[in-house]
Amino acid sequence: MSSPPDTDKLAAIQAELYKIAEANVQPDDSAGLLATSAMMLKTALELYTVVLDDEAIMKVLEIAVNDLPKARGRMGNQMGQVTIH
């Protein structure tokens, strides 16, 4: 049986990822935001391949897709609206 996730540690990891994004994206830089996000997603997928088979990765991605409305709500509350041109 696996132990529950350490939410404090996960929050700290997420904060570090946001620092990386902030260091690489300027205000109103939608291209930089997209590029940085794409590289984070690519890296996450590569890391998943170390411990998960393709079917398990697809399940993770399905969960992520289903979480999009919640994620949009969280980001809207944190950052306001961002327009992609």
Over the chain (85 residues), the average pLDDT of each successive run of 10 is 82 92 88 94 97 98 96 74 46
Contact between 59 and 4 (Cβ < 8 Å) = no
Q: Is residue 40 part of a domain?
A: yes
d(CA 70, CA 85): 23
Token duo for residue 45: 């997928």
Q: Is residue 19 part of a domain?
A: no
Q: Is residue 58 part of a domain?
A: yes
Q: What is the pLDDT of residue 11?
A: 92
Q: Is residue 59 part of a domain?
A: yes
Q: What is the pLDDT of residue 78?
A: 63
Q: What is the pLDDT of residue 26?
A: 87
Q: Is residue 16 part of a domain?
A: no
pTM reported for the whole predicted model: 0.75
Identify which of 39, 33, 41, 40 has the alpha carbon closest to the alpha carbon of residue 85. Answer: 33
Q: Is residue 57 part of a domain?
A: yes
Q: What is the pLDDT of residue 81?
A: 45
Identify which of 14, 16, 36 has the alpha carbon closest to the alpha carbon of residue 25. Answer: 36
Q: Is residue 6 part of a domain?
A: no
Domain count across the chain:
1
Contact between 25 and 33 (Cβ < 8 Å) = yes
Q: Is residue 62 part of a domain?
A: yes
**Residue 33: which domain range?**
27-85
